Amino acid sequence: MNEYDFEYLIQEDRVHKSVYTDAHLFDLEMERIFGGTWVYVGHDSQVKNPGDFFCTRIGKNPVVLTRHIDGRVKVLYNRCGHRGAMVVRQETGNAKSFHCCYHDWQFATDGELLSVPLKTGYLPDFDLKDPNKGMKSVARVGSYRGFIFANLRADGPDLEEYLGYVKTSFDDLIDRAPEGDVEVSGGIARHSYRGNWKLYLENLCDGLHPNSVHRSSIEAARGQSDATADDGAGEIAVRQMRQNGAPYAFWQNQVGLWAYPNGHAYLGDFHDDEKLVAAMEDPYFQDYISQMYRSYGENRTKEILAVGRWNTNIYPNVSFMSQFRQLRVIQPISVDRTLVLGFCFRLKGAPEHMFKDTIRFANITNSVGSPVLTDDLETYSRIRLGLETVGEEWISTAREIGRDKPDGNGGWQAANGTSELHIRNGFSTWKRLMKENYDRAG
Ligand code: FES
């Protein structure tokens, strides 16, 4: 039987604090949520050529995303079929085969065991073709327009069904490329924080916090002159931080929030400042826009650039945004420690300064030197500390509850951008997966 009463822990308008603090519940999350649904692992462009690989994790499982010699993308458990050592230690690279450091078993890039030294010492029926001796593949791999997900379970919905309507946020990102494709470019910006993994997703669609959490950077940006611009991108930093300080009425009246089945959500764009995005009239973006006109024509370009979404969360481990081509992967380490990997995407066919814009934005918002990110990390840490107090056991998720409306695309539109709809939606999926994946296993 389930040792937790999930109906009790997750209620309509509140959740029990143990879902952020209980180490055993965290272990169950890794089995039933990260091990029980589709999890983002990487992008096609990270494994462009045969032999390319990228090491990541699905919950607690180290895995390797590889492109085999035949062009197939594989996701392998990073574990040797002999005595279980992790095989690939380098994070990314290109290899003809993988070698275990312990007794030198050698594996093909699709995980098949190729050779073992002193083979006759093993049992007489030892067979190199035995999949249990190789690096095993995860149960399922799926890709949506180059964004690769893996699922440790063989049953359940396929990837497109799982993504549902939020796959249009990937379309939004890809459609902004004049050549209709994007690629990961540059390195990985990492940070970790002392707090639970769910806080990160919750915060990325939280329209109530910027005005208070980011006040110091808002005030610093307000003190800058408009002439801070260097080649245009510096100005964007200042304007971004200023816009975090938009009055509450703006977040309530002009910013939307949408949520979808399986825990996904996105926040509407919160910039009325046309310089922040690829504004149609801004000279900084004119050559990009001209390129888009050549690729798609004026009407379609305007349609593409008019999509106004900020962060899209794909439950449980990735969030991305098209306006500045950022993607963040959440890797839970323990109940109170989380690692985040940040990636930048290049729009294929776009002028080079569009990518510089992407890098500038990453530095301003997603790097450890960011004046914005550090505010958020401090907040996660304070939540962790606050939850250690005894007495009150419940956390409210009730903001704007009961005011959501069907959005016509299978999801719900919140009353406004300060709602906690996305948090309630995430926990509704959390509860379902924690129960359902127990039932399946049982
Ligand atoms: Fe890998 Fe022995 S543990 S070869």
Where do we find the tokens 């604090």?
A: 17
Indicate the top mutation candidate among 79, 83, 114, 132 to test ligand 1's pocket, ranked by most ligand atoms within 8 A of CB: 83
One pLDDT digit (tens) per residue for the chain, 442 residues: 567 999 999 999 999 999 999 999 999 999 999 999 999 999 999 999 999 999 999 999 999 999 999 999 999 999 999 999 999 999 999 999 999 999 999 999 999 999 999 999 999 999 999 999 999 999 999 999 999 999 999 999 999 999 999 999 999 999 999 999 999 999 999 999 999 999 999 999 999 999 999 998 888 888 877 666 555 556 677 777 888 888 898 888 889 999 999 999 999 987 776 666 666 667 778 899 999 999 999 999 999 998 989 999 999 999 999 989 999 999 999 999 999 999 999 999 999 989 988 998 898 888 888 888 999 999 999 999 999 998 889 999 999 999 999 999 999 999 999 999 999 999 999 999 999 877 555 4
**What is the model's pLDDT at position 442?**
40
Point out the ligand 1 atom lying closest to the alpha carbon of residue 105: 4
**What is the model's pLDDT at position 273?**
65
DSSP states of 160-223? HHHHGGGHHHHHHHHHTSTTS-EEEEEEEEEEEESS-THHHHHHHT-TTSHHHHTHHHHHHHHT
**What is the model's pLDDT at position 439?**
59
**What is the model's pLDDT at position 393?**
94
Q: Which residues are CB-neighbours of 140 under 8 A, at least 6 positions away?
A: 150, 151, 153, 154
Q: Is the CB of 105 under 6 A from ligand 1?
A: yes
pTM, two decimals, is 0.95
Q: Which residues are CB-neighbours of 230 under 8 A, at least 6 positions away?
A: none
Q: Is the CB of 205 under 6 A from ligand 1?
A: no
Which residue's C-alpha comes closest to atom 4 of ligand 1?
103
Indicate the top mutation candidate among 78, 80, 118 to test ligand 1's pocket, ranked by most ligand atoms within 8 A of CB: 80
From the list 79, 78, 137, 80, the residue with the least C-alpha distance to 104 is 80
Point out the ligand 1 atom lying closest to the alpha carbon of residue 85: 3
Give the Å distance between the CA of 137 and the centre of ligand 1.
18
Query: How many Å apart are CA 39 and CA 139, to the nearest integer?
Result: 12
Q: Is the CB of 82 under 6 A from ligand 1?
A: yes
Put the strands of the sheet holding 140-144 in their side by side order. Answer: 38-43, 147-151, 140-144
Q: Is the CB of 83 under 6 A from ligand 1?
A: yes
**What is the model's pLDDT at position 360?**
86
**Is there a cis peptide before residue 351, judged by omega within 30 degrees of 0?**
no
Which residue's C-alpha comes closest to atom 3 of ligand 1?
83
Give the Å distance between the CA of 35 and the centre of ligand 1.
25
Amino acid at position 207, single letter: G
